[in-house]
Amino acid sequence: MDVSRQDAETWAPWFRALGDPSRILILNLLATERRAMSVGEIVEALDLAQSTVSHHLKILGEVRFVLVERVSTSSSWRINERCLSCFPSTAEVVMGRIPAGVSPWDEPASTDRTGRRT
């Protein structure tokens, strides 16, 4: 077995975060737009309630699939670019297609415009 218990415990929340169609739609939108978007923009693009989008962004942020950028009193959300390459590799490790050795990314959960942790 290539996957350690520690890796399984790290990766399980990632897969759980994808367990809702709205979260998949939000991730897809942010990944294809390739820019930070406000909650309002996401609401408009996906025709979801603001509270629904906020709830799902919180869950996606907890596993760092998305990162928040805070400027003054507004927040924008963007895809964590590292998940675009890391997550598919993780899925391949779990499915036994490639050897273990993928580690979680270490980008801060939220940054300001200069890239500093907030």
97 has a pLDDT exceeding 80: no
What number of other Cβ atoms are within 10 A of residue 92's Cβ?
Answer: 13
What mean pLDDT value characterizes the chain?
A: 82
How many angstroms from the chain centroid is the CA of residue 118?
17
Burial pattern 62-71, b for ≥16 Cβ within 10 A else e, equals ebbbbbbbee
Predicted model pTM:
0.74
CATH architecture of the domain covering 5-111: Orthogonal Bundle (1.10)
pLDDT of residue 107: 44
Per-residue confidence band for 1, with pLDDT thresholds at 50, 70 and 90: low
- Report, as an integer, the average pLDDT of 38-67: 96
pLDDT interval class at 99 (50, 70, 90): low
Q: What is the mean pLDDT of residues 53-67?
A: 95
H-run or E-run covering 69: strand 66-71
Residue 22 binned pLDDT confidence (cut-offs 50, 70, 90): very high
Is residue 77 helix, strand or coil? strand
The token duo for 58 is 């919180």
Beta bridge partners of 66: 79
